[in-house]
Amino acid sequence: MTARKLTCLDCGQVNKVPEARLDAGPKCGTCGARLMPGKAVAIDLATLRKAARHDEVPLVVDFWAPWCGPCKMMAPEFDRAAGQAGTRARLVKLNTQDEAQAAGAYNIRGIPTMIRFHRGREAARQSGMMKSEQILRWIG
């Protein structure tokens, strides 16, 4: 049985989850947090770096800021997409105002910008506001 690595978005522990159990609500072996939360989760730069490097389920990051109008418009769409993505991807949000180093570290030139990471690499990038259906199509 194939296992997938997933970084806990709460404590940062890397967990191995059997692929067949991804949709069964797996929890972190260290802190008990849900590994496939079914909603968009706010993360910090350290968690992003670790998850982007280790995760074997696509990680979709919304780089945003509270002062950004298009970011505010996209937030409910991103949340809706996170609830519908199932086991295809985990959707997370990173506030670039609070995590100023993130913009430079990931070459963010405008927000909102989404980056999809898979198996330690940037797989795709998209800037601009998107509806939930567009986000889900973009995820693949």
What positions carry a catalytic annotation? Answer: 68, 71
Helix ranges (H only) for the chain are: 45-54, 69-84, 100-105, 132-139
How much helix, strand and coil, in percent to the nearest 5, is found in the chain? 35, 30, 40
- Which tokens sit at 123? 């797989």
> What is the total residue count of the chain?
140
